[in-house]
Chains A and B, each alone.
Chain A
C-alpha cells in the first residue's frame, strides 16, 4: 500500500501529526467496494445521514424545550408557533424519527435477504442490532417528551411492563419512574437520556463502520471479493450513487414534513397528558406496532410463569433472537438470489411482520371478517419465531442452492471473464 504524499504544506503538517487525510483517503476515497451493489445498499448511508439530521434538529429544539410536566406541552407549542422555523424543526425531527425506522428496517431486511449477517460479518450484524435497540429506547423516550396523552400513557404502559420481572419487578418500575407513577422525575430523566443516547448511537455507528471496513461490504451475489477486478473505488462511484439516493429520500421525507406532517402521528398526542383520563385506544408509534402485537399475543400462563412475563420476554426476545441469526442460518450460500426456497420464505416473513404491525394497531378485541384479531396476532407471533428458530435453520440445511458464480466480475460481466 503506497503512502500518499501531499503537496500542500498545511495538509502535510497535520498529516504528520494526525494522519486524518490519508485515513479519509483510504476509507472513503479509494476504499474498494464491490462493483455490483444495488440500491438496497444505499440505506446504510441514509441511516447515518438521518442520524445527523436528528441530532442537529434535536439540539436546536432542546434550546426551547422545557422538560417539566407543567411546561413541556406548552413549550412544544411555543416552538411550533413562536420560535423562528420552530414548526419546521419540530416536524423534521418528528417525521425524521419515522424515516429513521423505515430506513433501518429496510437496511435490516436487506441484511436478512442477502446474508450480510453471515461470517465474517457476524459482529457487524450484532452491532447493528444493538444500534436498533438504542434507537428504540431513544424513540420511546423522545415520544414521551411532548407530554401529550399518548406520551404519558405509552410511558405508563411500557414502564409497567418491567413489573413482570419476578421478585424485583416493582422496585425496578419505581426506580425507572423516580416515583409512584410516571410524573415529573420520569419526564426529566427521559429528556436527559434522550439527549444522551443519540451520541451513544453515533459511537456505535462508528464501530459498525469500523467492523464493516475490515471485510468490506457484502454484495447481491454474496460471493467474496477475489481481487481488484471485483471492486471499484468508493469515490466517485458510490459517493454519487449515495448522494443521488439521498436526493430521492429527501423528496419522500420532505413531502411528509411539508404536506402531511402528522401522517405518522396520533391526534391524541395533541391533547395534554392527563393522568386521570386514559385514551380509548392506546397505540404506540407505528414502528413499535409489531412488538406491541407480540406482547399482547401472549394471554395465557405457562406453568407457573405469568402471561405478562412471557409477553415481555417474547417482545424483547423478538429483537434479541436476531442476534443469533448468523448461527441459526447454516447455509454455505449467503445471498437469497441463489437460495430458491429461502427466497420465497423470506417474503412470507416480511408479510408476517406487516401483519404483526397491523394487529398491533388494532384493539385486542377487534375482529377481521369474523376472525378474532387476537388469534391472528397469535398466529403471526408464532410464525415469527417459527420462521427464525425453525424454518431458517431447517431450510439452510436441507435446501439445494443454485450454483454460485465464480466471482463478482464473472457475475456482472456479460462475457463472463473472471
Chain B
C-alpha cells in the first residue's frame, strides 16, 4: 500500500526518516483507534439480534406437579417447545430400569434421565426430524415399548423416552430442570 503523501518541500530542514516515522505513527495509531471504534459500533447491531430481555424472561417455566396423577401425562410449553411430564407407575419404572444397555440404540440408564424416578420430564420433540411423538393421552398409540410413538417416520420410544426402534438417533432430550419443592419444578 503506497503512502501517497507527496514530497514535502517546505519541511526541508527535518530529516526525511523522522518526518516519515511520525507520519506513520499518526496513521497507525489513528487507524487503530478508528478500527476499534468501528468494531465497537458494530456490536449493538449484532447483539440486538440475540434474544431480547422478555424472551429471556420466559426462558424458564415453573410447573406445579401436584395435580398430575400416577399414570397421567401432561404437556407444557417451554421455550416454544412441548415438554412431556409423566407421573410414571411402578411398572413403568421397573420396565425402564430393566432394559440392558446393549439393547439400546442410544445407551443411557434410566436413572440418568430422571431426578425422581416417578417423574419423567423430557422435551417432546422426536430426535429424528422434529415431529411431536404420540403417547401423552391414554388412547394414543404408545409404540411397541409402552412409551411414545412418532407417527411421522415410525420411531418407538420406551417408558424412559429412549429410542428403541425406528430412524431417530437419540433418546428424547431431558431439559435442565430442578425441583423447587416436592411438587414444583422449574424447567430451564
Contact = CB atoms under 8 A, between A and B. Distances in A.
Contact of B4 (A64, A78, A88, A233): A233
A64 B52 contact: yes
22 contacts: A29-B4, A57-B45, A60-B45, A60-B48, A64-B52, A78-B54, A82-B53, A82-B55, A83-B52, A83-B53, A84-B47, A84-B48, A84-B53, A85-B43, A85-B45, A85-B47, A86-B52, A89-B44, A89-B45, A233-B4, A235-B4, A243-B34
Contacts of B48: 60, 63-64, 83-86, 89
Contacts of A227: none
A233 B43 CA distance: 34
A332 interface: no
B80 to A, nearest CB: 17
A44 to B, nearest CB: 21
Contacts of B45: 56-57, 60, 85, 89
A53 to B, nearest CB: 9
Interface string B11-37: 000000000000000000000001000
Given A56-B45, A85-B48, A236 B5 contact: yes
A360 B48 CA distance: 37
A82 B4 contact: no
Interface in A58-108: 60, 63-64, 78, 81-86, 88-89
B110 to A, nearest CB: 40
Q: Is the interface of B mostly helix, strand, loop or mixed?
A: helix
Contacts of A233: 4
Contacts of B53: 81-84
B47 A236 contact: no
Interface in B129-185: none
What are the nearest 9 A-B pairs in CB distance?
A: A85-B44, A82-B53, A82-B52, A82-B54, A83-B52, A84-B47, A60-B48, A85-B48, A84-B48
Given A82-B54, A235-B4, A236-B4, A88 B49 contact: no
Q: Which of A56, A81, A82, A243 has the most CB of B within 10 A?
A: A82
Interface of B: 4-5, 34, 43-45, 47-50, 52-55
A304 B31 CA distance: 65
A56 B47 CA distance: 13
Q: Is the interface of A mostly helix, strand, loop or mixed?
A: helix
Contacts of A243: 34
Contacts of B49: 60, 63
Given A89-B44, A89-B45, A84 B50 contact: yes
Contacts of B34: 243
Contacts of B50: 84
A85 B34 CA distance: 21
Contacts of B52: 64, 78, 82-84, 86
Given A84-B48, A84-B53, 15 more contacts: A57-B45, A60-B48, A60-B49, A64-B48, A82-B52, A83-B52, A83-B53, A84-B52, A85-B47, A86-B48, A86-B52, A89-B44, A235-B4, A236-B4, A243-B34
A86 B52 CA distance: 9
A25 B24 CA distance: 22
Q: Which of A63, A84, A235 has the most CB of B within 10 A?
A: A84
A57 B45 CA distance: 7
B103 to A, nearest CB: 47
A81 B57 CA distance: 13
A236 B43 CA distance: 29
A404 to B, nearest CB: 28
A86 B45 CA distance: 9
Contacts of A236: 4-5
Q: Which of A29, A60, A81 has the most CB of B within 10 A?
A: A60
Interface string A222-246: 0000000000010110000001000
A29 B43 CA distance: 30
Interface in A262-321: none
Nearest to A56: B45
A56 B34 CA distance: 19
Contacts of A56: 45
Contacts of B44: 84-85, 88-89
Contacts of B4: 29, 233, 235-236
